[in-house]
C-alpha cells in the first residue's frame, strides 16, 4: 500500500538530469557512428545510423529517468 503525504509540494525536477540525458545521448550517437564507420565504411549506411539514433535515444531516456 502506498503512503501519501498531504499538503506537501511535489519534488522539483532537476535540469541537470535533462541536460545530462541529452549530452549522454549525443555522445553515444557520436561513438556509435565512429564505431560503425570503423566496422563498415565511411560514411556508415542509413540502417547503421538509424540503429545508432535508436540506441542513443534509449540511453538518453534511461539516463534522464534514472537521474530523477
Q: Determine, yes or no, domain membership for 23.
A: yes
Q: Determine, yes or no, domain membership for 50.
A: yes
Q: Determine, yes or no, domain membership for 2.
A: no
More confident residue, 6 or 45: 45
Which tens digits make up the pLDDT trace of 5-39? 666 666 666 777 778 889 999 999 999 999 999 98
More confident residue, 43 or 10: 43
**Model confidence, pTM:** 0.74
Cell representation of residue 33: 557512428
Q: Determine, yes or no, domain membership for 4.
A: no
Number of domains in the chain: 1
Rounded Cα distance between 17 and 63, Å, is 7
- Which residue segment(s) compose the domain that 33 sits in? 15-66
Q: Determine, yes or no, domain membership for 35.
A: yes
Amino acid at each position: 500500500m502506498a503512503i501519501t503525504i498531504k499538503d506537501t509540494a511535489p519534488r522539483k525536477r532537476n535540469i541537470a538530469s535533462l541536460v545530462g540525458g541529452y549530452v549522454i545521448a549525443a555522445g553515444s550517437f557520436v561513438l556509435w557512428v565512429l564505431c560503425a564507420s570503423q566496422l563498415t565504411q565511411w560514411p556508415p549506411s542509413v540502417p547503421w545510423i538509424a540503429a545508432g539514433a535508436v540506441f542513443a535515444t534509449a540511453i538518453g531516456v534511461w539516463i534522464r529517468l534514472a537521474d530523477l
